[in-house]
A and B are shown apart, each in its own frame.
Chain A
């Protein structure tokens, strides 16, 4: 498409050539770990799918406890392609969280968080927490018996934190127990508060990536390597990955549409063998390891404190890894990263099987 008048209109007002040069000069380091660079772009692409499918679903969803469950059944059974969009939203979320975890561990093991990229790590970590909360809040919107019980357990677990636990539980639930108020609150989180924070933090994260450039792992930073231009080489490779991921999401959405159980009944007992979503399984399994009482203290509170300490250590890892800050190899933190990864995988598998 060639529109000289439109081009000159923009050129008179903005430095179009300067922006074009900026894109043309952007390069990406080529080395044996370069596959890790594609995880970030893929996450962004999956976030875009979630935004689009979420917007479509919000046109028909009724965020009121009496109608929420029925409105989803209507979307799935009566609307043309409604089942597909719901399934796409569900599988898009699952795969986005998988890719986010892969992105996190690539960053952790390649020490991409080291100076001067600490803020990139913090913003990415906050995005992971937001994404998990997206999952939890979206899960309740279904308002079926399993979602109800899972959210009751999850918010109850947060309530075990000393000092602030009671406040967090009441704030999340909008009352003493999970109720219609919780649904309204989670809907607000899911469609307005979390997307707003996500857009802002993603924008900051992407800007920081552009500012610092791609991180090069320490093991290959000393070697001579040939950088490749982002446009078009890496961009085309990104497109290939996005297409394959899109194909995977569509295939899962078609072959395994998520089920809907009976409408939530706050007075009914929790269904048997209730399990949280897969990304909470490691927490769920950890809580099971602790006895009810440890030296006269509540075992669950101690478990939640230890988990919180573990998560905070992971968040502030760029500040603890002094060797990486100096540009030296730090095998201790590679091992710590591996232990975190193994613990997450093993506990998730045990939680899934048991």
Chain B
């Protein structure tokens, strides 16, 4: 009887190990708190990117405006103060 119980236990452990082995490997932090932090950071990251894009866009518009006014070219023979 004891041997039979041991054999069953052995089979159970082997099957359980195989079943556990086939489980999907967690490739993303599983706890809700960590998930929240990650998604929150993703939103903050996008706000940063959009902010930078807006700033660069404003800078580009400024460069174009100066070019259109024609004051971006350096004048030759300009008097030097020092």
Question: What is the interface of chain A, defined by CB distance below 8 A to chain B?
Answer: 73, 76-77, 83, 86-87, 232-233, 236-237, 239-240, 243-244, 246-247, 250-251, 254, 257-262
Contact = CB atoms under 8 A, between A and B. Distances in A.
Contact of A257 (B21, B27, B53, B56): B27
B73 to A, nearest CB: 11
Given A233-B60, A254-B42, A262-B22, A243 B27 contact: no
B33 to A, nearest CB: 15
Interface string B61-82: 0011000000000000000000
B38 A236 contact: no
B13 interface: no
Given A232-B63, A239-B56, A254-B38, A83 B28 contact: yes
Interface residues of B, number: 22
Contact of A236 (B25, B29, B59): B59
Contacts of A86: 27
Q: Which of A247, A251, A257 has the most CB of B within 10 A?
A: A247
Main secondary structure of the interface of A (DSSP, over half): helix
Interface string B9-46: 00000000000011011111100000000110010011
A240 B53 contact: yes
A246 B48 CA distance: 12
B16 to A, nearest CB: 16
A83 B60 CA distance: 37
A87 B38 CA distance: 14
A313 to B, nearest CB: 41
A260 B25 contact: yes
Contacts of B26: 76-77
A259 B27 contact: yes
B63 A83 contact: no
Contacts of B57: 240
Contacts of A254: 38-39, 42
20 contacts: A73-B25, A76-B25, A87-B27, A232-B59, A232-B60, A233-B64, A236-B59, A236-B60, A236-B63, A237-B60, A240-B56, A243-B52, A243-B56, A244-B53, A254-B39, A257-B28, A258-B27, A259-B27, A260-B27, A262-B22
A76 B29 CA distance: 9
Nearest to B42: A254
A261 B77 CA distance: 71
B7 interface: no
Contact of A247 (B25, B27, B45): B45
A258 B27 CA distance: 7
A260 B24 CA distance: 7
B56 A83 contact: no
A176 to B, nearest CB: 28
A239 B38 CA distance: 25
B65 to A, nearest CB: 12
A162 B36 CA distance: 56
A250 B25 contact: no
Contacts of B27: 76, 83, 86-87, 257-260
A86 B57 CA distance: 32
A259 B25 contact: yes
